[in-house]
């Protein structure tokens, strides 16, 4: 039903670059057909009555309204509707079957890739410099106060009897990605499963540093992490030759420290990151489960606004409330991802249209006037054509998908160099010197992986495809491990460094002290055994078996108990008296001739009991 709304923001427009503001609507009373017609001038009514069979076009305004209303409520309604063209009929169907009877030009354009005609092209109305209204204006009206298109409530009730439901929104997909010179196809599933373990091991070594103020990784950390990525970052690192040069920079290497911090697997002490207790547990968990945790935590974090990585757009950190809340944006994108078929490629442009057509919409900025390119006034994004869905929402989507979903192995990606990607920003003031608007402009298509289906909750389990190892090692009775052939992955190298000391290139010695220290920190020595057995054709030597079993046992030989307080007595006689007295013997233990030990939680009770003995406990 169509309603008069107390507060609605966002003006309708046919411009694809207009920003869309979505606000909750306060429902009041329905708007009826006669009331909607009453808002039109006589010239418009005369245009509309021409579509009513056998209706006289002359008369006063109230007479014209009555004739139109009578026709639209009676038997002539369906015959008028049948004269609409295909897009006009689709617009009526969309509005009639909308829960509130509303028509959204933005959603319609995204779904049908065209606009219905509300006016007759080339035909002038009797109203000065105005085109004649088309028959569509009989069905869909515009409420100026509420600033929306709608079908009047009583008219909608009649139309529901014969207007068919519109087709569901369709998301196009294909078996293969688009082809083209310079297109890179990156399969991320195996990379993510490998890299998450490498990143946790790197955290364990406390080699990741971030800014104490912003939590962002510095250049040395980015370089270190880039070297540990399976196939490197998405784009090669190019050093700036001039401070004004626009470079792509790291993507995956930047994402990992942010994901680890947001998930709570990393704790920051000053500028250095280290494994948290949950991070230590993650080392022995399934990599797929860790990746799923990282994604779920990222959806809710406020650690970073991904749009801040579109650094050509300035003004985002203004003291004014410029940017919208981040978690609702990610939620809209994830909801739309649920509609993407697993294993099929989806073009980013098609995904963007689907989001608008299916009403998976979100706002990026509250006030685009505060955002700008190069110069605050002339380069402001507040001007028409500078803050549309394609400029703000599309860039944000690309950042989330390229930098975070792809890094976590949720989607495979097909992409160009950003200079060969979207160039819809070229007409914006201040864009002359930009090679690209965002480092993600090259993203062309993506594909939900089997791992992604698991992370998104569409599959209950995940079984990674076993990959044959091309590495061979020799495990010797002397506890030495030697690489025989193949190249150790970064993950395998870090595993050996955890349990063994390097002797020379490609040779390590299993070290008892390192092994015990690793077990102390929560690492599972079974992972070392698995690596040794899988990559050596011979059974493990007895001495190595003994080493593994002994370390597994001795690494947990001692356990930290409760905290306690040492209490020094004045002499041995007092210590004997307190340690053996029935009031206090259960609360303390002897730790020396004149020393007693009392658990922290028992100190208060111990103090009360020694008072019974006539003794005092001085601080």
pLDDT digit string (tens) for 15-62? 333 333 333 344 456 889 999 999 999 989 998 999 988 777 778 999
**pLDDT the model gives residue 121:** 74
Q: Do residues 257 and 374 both lie within one domain? A: yes
For residue 177, being part of any structural domain is answered with no
Q: Does 174 score more than 60 pLDDT?
A: yes
> In this structure, are residues 599 and 584 in contact, taking their beta carbons and an 8 Å threshold?
no
Q: Do residues 204 and 334 both lie within one domain? A: yes
pLDDT range class, residue 559, cuts 50, 70, 90:
confident
**pLDDT the model gives residue 123:** 62
Span 495-520, mean pLDDT? 90
Q: Do residues 519 and 538 both lie within one domain? A: yes
For residue 292, give the nearest of 146, 435, 472, 461 by alpha carbon: 461
Instruction: Kindly report the length of the chain.
Output: 619
Q: Do residues 255 and 122 both lie within one domain? A: no
Q: Does 128 score more than 70 pLDDT?
A: no
The domain in which residue 276 lies consists of: 186-455
Q: Do residues 314 and 347 both lie within one domain? A: yes
Please count the structural domains in the chain.
Answer: 4
Per-residue exposure over 169-205, b if at least 16 CB sit within 10 Å of its own CB, e if not: bebebeeebeeeeebeebebbbbbbbbbbbbbbbbbe
For residue 274, being part of any structural domain is answered with yes
**Domain end call among 427, 455, 483:** 455
Q: Does 9 score more than 70 pLDDT?
A: no
Q: Do residues 341 and 485 both lie within one domain? A: no
For residue 178, being part of any structural domain is answered with no
3-state secondary structure of 29: strand
More confident residue, 144 or 544: 544
> In this structure, are residues 56 and 85 in contact, taking their beta carbons and an 8 Å threshold?
no
In the chain, how long is the greatest CA-to-CA distance? 121
418-19-305 Cα angle (round to 5): 55
Separation of alpha carbons 337 and 397, rounded Å: 11
Q: Do residues 546 and 570 both lie within one domain? A: no
Structure tokens at 256: 């990992």
Q: Do residues 547 and 576 both lie within one domain? A: no
Q: Do residues 233 and 296 both lie within one domain? A: yes
For residue 345, being part of any structural domain is answered with yes
Q: Does 221 score more than 70 pLDDT?
A: yes
Separation of alpha carbons 118 and 387, rounded Å: 26
For 328-366, the pLDDT digits (tens) are 999 999 999 999 999 999 999 999 999 999 999 999 999
How far are the Cα atoms of 251, 253, 254, 290, 584 from residue 223, in angstroms, in the given order? Answer: 12, 8, 10, 24, 61
Separation of alpha carbons 274 and 206, rounded Å: 5
> In this structure, are residues 95 and 110 in contact, taking their beta carbons and an 8 Å threshold?
no
Q: Do residues 215 and 305 both lie within one domain? A: yes
Strand partners for 475: 481
Q: What are φ and ψ of residue 223, in 5° steps? A: -65, -45
Question: Count of CB atoms within 10 A of residue 596's CB?
Answer: 23
């Amino acid at each position: 039903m169509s309603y008069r709304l107390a507060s609605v923001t966002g003006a309708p427009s046919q411009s694809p670059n207009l920003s869309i503001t979505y606000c909750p609507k306060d429902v009041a009373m329905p708007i009826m057909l006669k009331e909607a017609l009453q808002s039109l001038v006589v010239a418009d009514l005369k245009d509309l009555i021409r579509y009513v069979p056998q209706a006289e076009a002359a008369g006063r305004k109230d007479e014209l309204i009555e004739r139109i209303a009578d026709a639209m409520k009676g038997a002539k309604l369906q015959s008028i509707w049948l004269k609409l063209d295909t897009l006009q009929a689709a617009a009526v169907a969309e509005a009639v079957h909308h829960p509130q009877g509303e028509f959204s030009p933005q959603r319609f354009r995204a779904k049908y890739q065209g606009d219905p005609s509300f006016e007759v092209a080339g035909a002038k109305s009797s109203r000065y410099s105005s085109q004649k209204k088309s028959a569509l204006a009989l069905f869909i009206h515009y409420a100026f106060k509420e600033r929306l298109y709608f079908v009047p409530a009583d008219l909608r009730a009649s139309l529901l009897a014969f207007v068919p439901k519109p087709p569901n929104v369709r998301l196009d997909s294909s078996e293969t990605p688009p082809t083209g010179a310079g297109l890179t196809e990156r399969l991320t599933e195996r990379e993510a499963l490998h890299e998450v373990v490498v990143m946790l091991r790197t955290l364990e070594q406390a080699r990741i540093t971030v800014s104490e103020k912003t939590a962002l990784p510095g250049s040395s950390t980015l370089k270190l992490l880039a070297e540990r990525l399976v196939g490197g970052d998405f784009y090669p690192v190019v050093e700036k030759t001039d401070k004004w040069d626009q470079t792509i920079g790291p993507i995956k290497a930047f994402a990992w420290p942010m994901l680890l911090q947001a998930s709570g697997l990393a704790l920051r002490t000053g500028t250095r990151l280290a494994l948290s207790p949950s991070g230590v547990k993650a080392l022995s968990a399934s990599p797929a489960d860790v990746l799923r945790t990282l994604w779920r935590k990222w959806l809710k974090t406020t650690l970073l606004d991904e749009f801040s990585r579109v650094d050509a757009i300035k003004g985002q950190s203004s003291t004014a409330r410029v940017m919208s809340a981040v978690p609702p944006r990610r939620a809209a994108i994830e909801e739309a991802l649920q509609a993407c078929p697993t294993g099929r490629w989806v073009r980013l442009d098609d995904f963007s249209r689907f989001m608008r057509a299916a009403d998976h919409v979100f706002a990026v900025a509250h006030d685009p006037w505060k955002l700008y390119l190069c110069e605050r006034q002339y380069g402001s994004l507040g001007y028409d054509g500078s803050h549309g869905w394609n400029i703000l929402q599309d860039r944000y989507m690309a950042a989330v998908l390229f930098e975070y979903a792809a890094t976590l192995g949720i989607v495979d990606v097909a992409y160009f160099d950003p200079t060969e990607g979207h160039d819809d920003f070229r007409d914006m003031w201040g864009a002359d010197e930009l090679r690209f608007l965002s480092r993600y402009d090259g993203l062309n298509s993506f594909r939900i992986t089997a791992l992604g289906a698991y992370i998104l909750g569409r599959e209950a389990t995940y079984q990674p495809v076993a990959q044959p190892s091309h590495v061979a090692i020799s495990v010797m009775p002397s506890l030495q491990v030697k690489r025989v052939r193949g190249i150790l992955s970064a993950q395998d190298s870090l595993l050996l460094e955890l349990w063994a000391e390097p002797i020379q290139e490609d040779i390590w010695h299993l070290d008892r002290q390192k092994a015990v220290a690793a077990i102390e920190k929560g690492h599972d020595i079974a992972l070392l055994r698995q690596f040794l057995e899988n990559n050596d054709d011979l059974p493990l030597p007895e001495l190595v078996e003994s080493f593994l079993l002994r370390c597994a046992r001795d690494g947990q030989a001692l356990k930290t108990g409760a905290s306690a307080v040492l209490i020094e007595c004045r002499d041995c006689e007092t210590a004997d008296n307190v340690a053996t007295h029935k009031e206090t013997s259960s609360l303390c233990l002897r730790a020396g001739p004149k020393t007693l030990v009392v658990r922290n939680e028992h100190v208060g009770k111990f103090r009360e009991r020694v008072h019974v003995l006539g003794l005092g406990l001085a601080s």
